[in-house]
Each structure stands twice: as structure tokens, then as C-alpha cells.
Chain A
């Protein structure tokens, strides 16, 4: 059962553009929403995370927007760079489930120079 739906599956943007990746979840008990970045041949690495008590979190060029009522959250990459080309995964977890993360399907981002 897929509890976190991610879109788009792939995304191509030009250098300097904004990359936007969206996720939607079903389980209203989810209370932690991280984004992971994965380069080819590497394991995923935590990029940024948010809790539902805030609507936005920004770290450098990366921003998470969170809409609790719509059960949606998104990753915005401002001034996208070729080095941002990677696969991005959203995830969700509920504190009572311990450390279990449910991942989205992933978005392959390509930033053209």
C-alpha cells in the first residue's frame, strides 16, 4: 500500500530555474516529512525535513512547503544547478511508529547547463 504519492516521476529544468516536486500522503498520523537526495551509485542522504506545525522551512536554495489540510508537501529548489541533478525522495513517518519511513516513488531531476 503506497501511502506517499510523489510527482512528477522525472523533471528537466534549465540552470537557474525552479524545480518543484510534490508529494501527497494519506495517513493523517504522519508527523515528520523528510526529503532525501540520491546521486547515482550512492545511498540516499537527508536533504531537509519538516514537521506539520510549520508551513514552510527553508535551507539555502531548498524549501519545503507544507499544506496540512490538503495533506501535501513539496520541495522547491531555487536557482537549480547541474550539480542538483539527482533523484529526490519524499518520505513520511509517525513518531509512534518508531523509525519507520515511508518513501515516495522518487523524482529524477535533470538540470541542464
Chain B
């Protein structure tokens, strides 16, 4: 079975450029999560969706970050304009239901480097 698919796996961009990260959740899962992982701040939840609707975006750091989920099989996380402090590994995860007890399955991550 295919797990959560993220693309690209690595992204290097220059400060000021727009960056779009993509995620395909596990088929049948109705909740999708975007996380950011850094050495300084650890693993942080940015936003999550349920049935394609954003439920909690309180972790989105600022207006430069936006996320969309146009359908059940695709989500994007966009950073515009990007800054060096956005360098991190961004994970997408999905789960079968809404609630902490539903296991979240993580993708392999996208390593973003902003120079």
C-alpha cells in the first residue's frame, strides 16, 4: 500500500522565491496534517484539515504561509515569499478520522533550504 506521498523530497530556493510543497494522503483518510521540524523548535503542527476543510491553522507562523486542500487526495503548503528561517523539514501526515487517537501516518518529508 502506498503511504503518504510528498513532493519534492528536497527543495533549495533563494530568499524571496515562492515555494510549494505537495502532499497526497493515504486513500480513505479524511484528515491531513502539515508539520514543520527544526532543531530549534522540534516538531510543530502548522495546520490540519478534516474532509478538506481547515480545522486548526493556529500553528501557521505568519501570512507568508498558506495551505489548501482542493480535494481528498491532494494538499499544498505554500510559502511566499520564502525566508532563510523557513529552512526545515516539512512533513505531511494523514489519519482515518478526526481525533488524537486516530493514528497519524507521516510522509517522508520535504527538506527545504532557503538561501
- A residues with a Cβ closer than 8 A to B are 32, 34, 41-46, 49, 89, 93-95, 97-101, 103-106
Contacts and interface: CB of A to CB of B under 8 A. Distances in A.
A94 B100 CA distance: 7
Contacts of A44: 43, 91, 106
Given A95-B100, A98-B99, A104-B42, A43 B56 contact: no
A45 B107 CA distance: 9
Interface of B: 4, 31, 33, 42-45, 48, 50, 55-56, 91, 93, 95, 98-109
A16 B41 CA distance: 32
* Residue from B50, B95, B100, B108 having most chain A Cβ neighbours under 10 A: B100
A107 to B, nearest CB: 11
* Residue from A42, A46, A98 having most chain B Cβ neighbours under 10 A: A98
A32 B101 contact: yes
6 contacts: A32-B100, A41-B108, A43-B108, A99-B99, A101-B45, A106-B42
